[in-house]
Amino acid sequence: MCKRWKLVAAIVVLVPVGAAAGEPAAAGRSLYQQTCIACHGPDGRGVLPGMASLRAADGPLSQTDEVLLRSILDGKQSANSPLTMPPRGGNPSLTEADARALVAFLRAEFGRP
Ligand code: HEC
């Protein structure tokens, strides 16, 4: 019983430290795969008809980090879009640090130089 609790404690301690120690884009990748990929797809082009591609040169990633951060945390509904970006991608446990890691990942993976 005692050993099992030590193991649980070790996992609880190690997981967040591991995530913080990696580079932000790497942390963002696993968050993207858990929370965002269902709508934005593995290539960022979007899996739902009518969704803006994150890869488009004049698309969402042409905005500043702060704008993207707010869209991820607060959600977004453009006037001309039939679809809504849910706050935190629908994952209430997503933190602001997670959202920053996601912005770094989006730029590294889908952004243009
Ligand atoms: C339920 C589907 C869905 C999920 C899950 C989702 N998104 Fe979105 N996302 C959208 C839609 C739809 C839009 C376009 C909204 C609009 O412009 O009205 C969007 C837009 C965006 C934009 C552009 C915002 C802007 O300011 O133009 C970013 C960045 C983004 N999503 C990132 C993410 C990230 C990161 C996650 C995971 C944490 C995520 N999305 C999860 C549907 C989703």
pLDDT tens-place string over residues 32-90: 999 999 999 999 999 988 888 999 989 999 999 999 999 999 999 998 888 999 999 99
Residue of minimum CA distance from atom 43 in ligand 1: 85
Structure confidence at residue 25 as a pLDDT band (50, 70, 90): confident
**Ligand 1 contact via 99 beta carbon (within 6 Å):** no
- Closest by CA to 75, choosing from 110, 35, 112, 26, is 35
Residue of minimum CA distance from atom 8 in ligand 1: 85
Alpha carbon dihedral 41, 46, 48, 51, in 10-degree steps, equals: 160
User: What's the rounded Cα separation, in Å, for the pair 85 and 35?
Assistant: 12
Atom of ligand 1 nearest to the CA of 98: 38
